[in-house]
Amino acid sequence: MKRFILPLLLAAHSAFAADQGPSPYYTVEDIATPPGLSPEVGGLAFRPDGKLVACFHRGEVYTYDPATQEWKLFAQGLHEPLGLLAPTNDEVIVMQRPELTRLRDTDADGVADSYETITDAFGMTGNYHEFAFGPVAAPDGGWFISLNLASDGAGIRHEVRGENRERGRIGRMYSAVPWRGWILKVAPDGKVTPWASGFRSPNAPGFDAEGRLLVPDNQGDWLGSSPLYHVEKGKFYGHPAALAWKPGETRAPLKIPVEELDKNRTRPAIVFSQNIVANSPTQVFHDSTEGKFGPFAGQTLVGEMNRARILRVVLEEVDGQLQGMTVPLLDDHGLRKGDNRFAFAPDGSLWVGETNHGWAGDKGIQRIVWTGKVPLDVKEMYLTKTGFDLVFTRPLETASASNPENYKAQRYYYEYHAAYGSKQFDLTEIAPKAVTVSEDRMKVTLEYHPLLAWRIYQFDFKGLKAEDGAPLENSLVTYTLNHLREGTPPPPPPGPGALSEADEKAARTKEAKKDPEAKPAAGKPATTEPDEKPKTAAPKSATAKPASTPAAKTSGTTTKPAEKKPAPKATPTPAAKPAATPAARKPATRLPARP
């Protein structure tokens, strides 16, 4: 099949992933798209009759028959469609930039002749960053959609749709018109209920197998690293801009003290470590194939735009809140980048829609088929009182499984603050205090001391292998540990919030003069300019040797010193809290020029 991708990207891709051949577990094939189509995929879904429906950046909706490999134009001229559902064979529910639309083919010619607005009851300023995502079908009827904030990389248009609220207009990412930064529930009759707030770029919501609504967001201002949220009605998720539209809230979002924002926010169930796990997570979905797609049936999956990677997420409820692990399902092995949209075909294959629009990546459609072989992977991971239980897909080889060297890890956290991104705070290398391999060699119990809350634990299990010698397929595993099983201490305090009023005025004056000094977004050291060295050295220089050579026992316990650095206090303190007084800080947010 012909690949309609940019030759350059092909070259670049293979240069980067030269060591990655095809996977023995998943085959990845390219689906040819019609010549002349720019296949920047915004949405994918399978109809009940097994045909694929896909929408593309330039406004087309196509149907594709996998049996005949024929494409047919279903609708055209949509405004940046970024998600769709195909509930029946003649109906597509599509989220385009200005509205949620029902496309219907009423005369059975395979082409939509009705473009019905389900709702356009949300604001638009014309700012490029106001993407609209979804829909996902609500279990009780209707849909959920999610709305991006605007970016001060551009202004707002002279004419906007919806009320233009001045106090929502301030900040790097802003919400000048209704429901930007919100997830909305749309009833079947089009009535809109604001559902949850505090999002920045929520691409894109989805349900897990337990029916929980999840949505990822993108690293940026107020987001130290990209999160995955468990979305519940009425909750606030941390980006203050959306609060311009919170009923009863009259303060400008950036005037709300950071401590108050921090107290009111619901923390992410998962934090995807920036530059390590994911930079730009995409659609949430789950393996609904009941085993046709491999050993991870029912698990939650999330795309990642920036790498050729699809992630698995395993959540568990601890202390009433969701948290859990991430691990790649597939990394490279023929998968391209820009993995934005996903749909399972009736045959259990996973169809991936890629886009490079405004982002690094590829464009096109790929199809992933499970070969029937079971990879050695961490299937599940659970928090215990003292560490973690790892559940594997296949029995482990004993020597490597019981070697504590293979369970060395790092832990750190990203700070909640107004500035863009976050460095890793309190980065610490850790080694297990005890490693226990189960009788059937399918489970490893790890103990770490101390086990700290509000940290991301990052593992690289590359030393593990299966009893038949097969390597662990995906060794990069993280666990977002917010709550301990018992006695969770308070979380680390937030970093600097937004501007004080005086700073804001100063910034405004400077901005008017186009003084480049007025532009920095850093109210505190940004990602790349830490003002303090972290307490711990970079992780790659680990020198500690295991206390003993791996024993050739079928199961056992090995102990070794737990920490490379002095044990932190029980109440965690950020390693690098800036000492600057508010007055000494630079403005945290660039003010947009006023029209």
Partner 1 sequence: MLLRFTTAVLLSLSLVLARPAAAQEVEPIEMKTIAGLRYDPPRFVVKPGAKVKIEIENADDMAHNFVLVAPGARMEIVNAAMTMPITPEQTFIPPSDKILQHTVVLVPGKTATLEFTAPEQEGVYPYICTYPGHGMVMYGAMYVSKQGEEQLPTIANDENLPDMVRDQANTAKLHAHATEPPHWYRTFMRDSGPASIAVALPGGQSYCWDAGACRLRYAWRGGFVDPTPYWKGNGDAFAEVQGTIYYRPGVFPLRFGEAKKVPTEVRFRGFNVVEKFPQFHYNVGSVEVRELIKPAHHGGIEATYQLTGAKGAVYFVVEPGAGVEASSSAGKFIDGVLKIPADKTKQFTISFLEILNREPLAYWSMNDTLVGKKPLPVEGPKGRAVIFDGKKSEHATGLKGKDLAEGATFAVWAQLAKPPTPEQVLIGAKSDEGEFALGANLVGVPGYGVRVKSAKQEAKIVAAMPMEADDLWHHLVATLDRKQLRFYLDGKPAGMAAAAPLPGEAELFLGSLGKASFAGATLDEARIFARVLDAKEIAALYETERGKGPPKPVPKPETAAPAKPAAPAKPGSKPAAKPATKTSSKSAQ
Tokens of 516: 């480049």
For position 455 contacting partner 1 by CB under 8 A, the verdict is no
| Region binding partner 1 by CB under 8 A among candidate stretches 2-10, 83-91, 222-230, 550-558 | 2-10
C-beta separation of 173 from 220 below 8 A: yes
The distance of closest approach from Cβ of residue 153 to partner 1 in the complex, given in angstroms and rounded to an integer, is: 5
Distance CA 16, CA 307 (A): 11
For position 1 contacting partner 1 by CB under 8 A, the verdict is no
DSSP letter string over 406-460? GG-EEEEEE---SSBS--EEEEEEE--SEEEE-TTSSEEEEE-SS--SSEEEEEE
| Region binding partner 1 by CB under 8 A among candidate stretches 70-78, 376-384, 449-457, 471-479 | 70-78
For position 356 contacting partner 1 by CB under 8 A, the verdict is yes
Binding residue for partner 1, selected from 47, 51, 169, 172, defined by CB under 8 A:
172
Binding residue for partner 1, selected from 3, 20, 32, 73, defined by CB under 8 A:
73
**Region 327-346 residues binding partner 1, contact defined as CB under 8 A:** 337
For position 117 contacting partner 1 by CB under 8 A, the verdict is yes
When the beta carbons of 298 and 534 are compared against partner 1, the nearer one is 534
In this structure, how many other beta carbons lie within 10 angstroms of the beta carbon of residue 263?
10
Tokens of 126: 């014309």
The distance of closest approach from Cβ of residue 589 to partner 1 in the complex, given in angstroms and rounded to an integer, is: 9
The distance of closest approach from Cβ of residue 46 to partner 1 in the complex, given in angstroms and rounded to an integer, is: 21
In this structure, how many other beta carbons lie within 10 angstroms of the beta carbon of residue 18?
9
Q: Residue count at the site for partner 1 (CB under 8 A)? A: 97
Binding residue for partner 1, selected from 124, 368, 383, 437, defined by CB under 8 A:
124
For position 574 contacting partner 1 by CB under 8 A, the verdict is no
The distance of closest approach from Cβ of residue 57 to partner 1 in the complex, given in angstroms and rounded to an integer, is: 7
CA nearest 335: which of 298, 312, 303? 303
For position 126 contacting partner 1 by CB under 8 A, the verdict is yes
For position 120 contacting partner 1 by CB under 8 A, the verdict is yes
In this structure, how many other beta carbons lie within 10 angstroms of the beta carbon of residue 566?
8
For position 542 contacting partner 1 by CB under 8 A, the verdict is no
Distance CA 121, CA 229 (A): 24
The distance of closest approach from Cβ of residue 199 to partner 1 in the complex, given in angstroms and rounded to an integer, is: 15
**Region 253-282 residues binding partner 1, contact defined as CB under 8 A:** 275-276, 279
| Region binding partner 1 by CB under 8 A among candidate stretches 341-349, 367-375, 415-423, 489-497 | 415-423
Binding mask 217-256 for partner 1 (x = CB under 8 A): ---x------------------------------------
**Region 469-508 residues binding partner 1, contact defined as CB under 8 A:** none
In this structure, how many other beta carbons lie within 10 angstroms of the beta carbon of residue 464?
22
Distance CA 13, CA 28 (A): 15
**Region 502-531 residues binding partner 1, contact defined as CB under 8 A:** 512-516, 519-522, 526-530
For position 463 contacting partner 1 by CB under 8 A, the verdict is no
**Region 10-29 residues binding partner 1, contact defined as CB under 8 A:** 12-13, 15-16
Element spanning 259, H or E? helix 258-264
CA–chain centroid gap for 330, Å, is: 16
Binding residue for partner 1, selected from 203, 424, 428, 445, defined by CB under 8 A:
424
**Region 137-166 residues binding partner 1, contact defined as CB under 8 A:** 151-155, 157-161
Helix (H, G, I), strand (E, B) or coil at 133: strand
Q: Between the CA of residue 432 and those of 326, 387, 391, 436, 506, what are the distances in Å?
A: 19, 9, 17, 10, 51
For position 58 contacting partner 1 by CB under 8 A, the verdict is yes
Distance CA 378, CA 369 (A): 20
Q: Between the CA of residue 169 and those of 18, 127, 293, 410, what are the distances in Å?
A: 46, 12, 46, 39
Binding residue for partner 1, selected from 60, 331, 447, 504, defined by CB under 8 A:
60
Binding residue for partner 1, selected from 23, 197, 300, 306, defined by CB under 8 A:
306
Tokens of 454: 């509000």
When the beta carbons of 7 and 372 are compared against partner 1, the nearer one is 7
Q: How far apart are the first and last CA of the chain?
A: 51
CA nearest 438: which of 406, 498, 395, 489? 395
When the beta carbons of 567 and 593 are compared against partner 1, the nearer one is 593
